[in-house]
Amino acid sequence: MTDLELLHFDQLKNEVQAQYLENHTPSFDEISKWKGIDIIYFQEDLRKKAKGNISEKSFYTYFKSPVTRLPRIDMLNLLAVYAGYVSWYDFKKNHLFADEVLLDQETEKITEELSAIEIIESETAITEQKITGDLQGSTSSVPPSNTGNADLQKTDTENQHTKPKPVLLETYDTSDQRSTFTLIKKYIWLGISLVLAVLVALLIFKEEIFSKEFTYTFIDADRNSKINDELDVKILKENESPIFTRVLPNQPFVYTTRSKTLKMVVSSPYYKTDTINRNLETAPSVENIELRPNDYAIMLFFYSKSITDLKKKRLSLNYLISDNALIYQVYDNETYGVETLDKQRYINLVTLPSTSLENLEVIDTQTNDNGKIVMIKFKIGNNEEKK
């Protein structure tokens, strides 16, 4: 990749920006300053005109951060189509710099194939030379056959030297008998080895041998059904750091321990946090635990997902959320981790009929004594296919 390729990409981004500004009015004219709802509107327009999509993470990587490498060719072609060109190659052909030579696609392909053929032919020639050298060396090392007259043996017994068979003298050897002392020593070593093997097994499998397994199923207290949502379980032990575990939807939490007590904190964006204490000496090994739903978080999630009766939806959100609420949008990238929104901007975002909201996830909420939501933390997941 040359510097000219990066310059072409900067040209393409400027034309993409100009194309979007023809029919839209974002918060800023410069595409590098777009955030949140501006990016979502741009993604919708890109899907509509170019029949494709780029993720929010890719947008931040290639439009907001300094670019040192080109994106994938499929993304370049998609942006070129959005800007009004047939492909990335067509865009470069229409924006040639002075003294720039641009090979056509077919020529580039033929050049790559010829280079590959030259490499294969070179490797084949080296291999043939090596094989020829090995064969010549092997031929020169074969000794010449003896063509002179040799004394041939007329019979099977002529010219054969016979060796006399040794005479075996049998004597009484006491070393062939095992003494009682040797047997005792052998059994002692076997016993020691057995004891050591048992100790090693105890050290390796002591957790499985002396531990007890407990199974906890979490139930929705209002619906009396398994919770169809991920739960975070934090095990608290005295003088130790907490142990964090993620429980999948509709799955029980299985805990194996040698402790006599259990203290765990169960939390979820849609259920109230609960601290559970158990005496494991008397507690049952299988138990159902009820969690109280966080009604405000559930309503907020429902209103964010619903695409019907937008006017009623906006009124409901306006009533639920405090005017001074702190609202955070979390991003899945290192450069822009969190963005703050005001109440009205959040309502505009979640009432936008966009496919991006299918991946909206409420991370946390807080309410005041008056029942108003004073804090919302959410994120919009990345649904770009991994290629």
CATH of domain 295-380: 3.10.450
Per DSSP, the chain holds a count of helices (H) and strands (E) of 10, 12
* Separation CA 193–CA 187 (nearest Å): 10
Per the rule left: phi > 0, alpha: psi between -120 and 50, beta: everything else, 210 is alpha
The Cα 93–Cα 10 span in angstroms is 15
What is the four-CA torsion angle of 170, 174, 177, 179, rounded to 10 degrees? 180
CA 157 to chain centre: 81
Per-residue pLDDT at 260: 83
DSSP 293: B
The CATH fold assigned to 210-291 is Immunoglobulin-like (2.60.40)
Measure the CA–CA gap between 18 and 163, rounded to whole angstroms: 106
Longest dimension (CA), the chain: 123
Q: What residues contact residue 83 under an 8 Å CB cut-off, 6+ apart?
A: 12, 15, 16, 19, 91
**DSSP letter for each residue of 324-359:** EEEEEEE-SSSS--EEEE-HHHHHHHHTS--GGGGG
Alpha carbon distance, N-terminus to C-terminus of the chain:
21
CA distance linking residue 259 with residue 189, whole number of Å? 37
**pLDDT tens for the chain, residues 1 to 387:** 568 888 889 999 999 999 999 999 998 999 989 988 899 999 999 999 999 999 988 999 999 878 888 999 999 999 999 999 999 999 999 988 776 666 555 444 444 444 444 444 545 554 455 545 554 554 444 444 444 444 444 444 445 555 555 544 444 445 445 577 787 888 898 889 889 888 887 777 666 666 888 899 998 887 888 888 888 999 998 888 899 898 998 889 998 888 888 999 998 877 888 899 998 888 898 999 989 887 667 766 666 666 566 677 788 888 889 998 999 888 876 666 788 889 888 888 877 766 666 677 888 888 888 888 999 988 887 655 444
Q: How many CB atoms neighbour CB 48 within 10 A? A: 9
Query: For the chain, what are the domain ranges?
Result: 3-93, 210-291, 295-380
What sign for the dihedral angle of Cα 20, 22, 27, 31? positive
**Element holding 59 (H helix, E strand):** helix 56-59
**Can you give the pTM of this predicted structure?**
0.42
